[in-house]
Each structure stands twice: as structure tokens, then as C-alpha cells.
Amino acid sequence: MTETKLAPNLPQWMKDHVARYLSSGGTDGHVYTIAPPGKPEIAVPSLLLTTTGRKSGEKYLFPLFYGNAGGSYFVIASKGGAPEHPGWYRNILANPDVDIQVGTMKTRARARTASGEERARLWKQAVEIFPPYADYQLKAKGREIPVVVLDPVA
């Protein structure tokens, strides 16, 4: 099996967050506290998503904020409002079988892009969890930011 690597080009705060998450087995880092400039702190739940690189076949780990959707989880492919989708999203389009760690729980999951009413409902929930997503959508200049559901599999 390929060794999992931290996704390339992550900012230092994400690298530090992943290190804390992994070194604690998920007991520290599951909730990430952000202090946006001039705004109140936000405590956001985070998970670790491992995808298979669409070109390299390598395993890559990404820290992402998440919400709950019934017995599944969902994440937002915002890339901070960039005009293109994040690499992890392009990876799951090529191979939707992923690994996730939510706190201390680790499982396999199948990723799928939400659409229609499900997307609208989950997007609203995501903006409640992390309000900057609304600004990211404005910055994305016409790119609809994908909402990705992670359905655990046995």
C-alpha cells in the first residue's frame, strides 16, 4: 500500500493542524478554532480526508471542515473561492473511494457530489458552520462550489 502524504502546497497553519490531529490520534484538532481578522472566533469541526491522486496514484491527506448529513459527512470544495476546484475534489472525481478520520474514528467512504435540493440544504448548513463559505462563493466568479457527501462504507 502507498504511504499517505500530506497534500502539497498546504499553508503552514494546515500543516500544523494536521500534525496536531495525527499526533493526538484525533483527540486534539478535531475542532479547529479560527480567529478571522476583526471577527469573533469560530470553532469548526474538521476531518482528515485521504484521496488517491488522479495522476500519481499516491495517497494524499487533506484537512477539511465538515458537517453531518444523516449517517454521512459533507465537505465543501471551496479552495477559498479560487476559480478552479481543489485538487482533492478532482481526485475524488477520478476515484471516489476515500479514507476519512473524524476525531478518533477512521473509516472508508465513498465520495459523491451533492446536487439539487440536497446541495442547497447542505450548503446552507455549511455556511452556518463556517460563514466565510458565503464569501468564497462570491469570489469563485461563477464556479459553483461543490458540496461533497462522504458516505461511510463497510
C-alpha cell at 102: 473524524
Supply the pLDDT for residue 43: 93
Helices of type H across the chain: 12-23, 87-94, 116-129, 132-139
Beta strands in 7-58 (DSSP E): 31-34, 42-52
- Check pLDDT > 80 for residue 145: yes
Dihedral of CA atoms 26, 32, 33, 35 in degrees, nearest 10, equals: 150
Mean pLDDT of 109-124: 98
Q: What is the pLDDT of residues 22-71, one digit of tens each?
A: 999 999 989 999 887 787 888 999 999 999 999 999 999 999 999 999 99
Supply the pLDDT for residue 93: 97
- Check pLDDT > 90 for residue 13: no
* Main-chain phi, psi angles of 152, to 5 degrees: -60, 145
Domains and CATH numbers, the chain: 4-153 (2.30.110.10)
Can you give the pTM of this predicted structure? 0.93
What is the average pLDDT score of the chain?
Answer: 93
Nearest to 19 by CA among 42, 39, 48: 48
d(CA 127, CA 4): 30
Supply the pLDDT for residue 36: 73
Supply the pLDDT for residue 37: 77
Supply the pLDDT for residue 1: 46
d(CA 79, CA 125): 18
Mean pLDDT of 110-123: 98
Supply the pLDDT for residue 38: 82
Supply the pLDDT for residue 142: 87
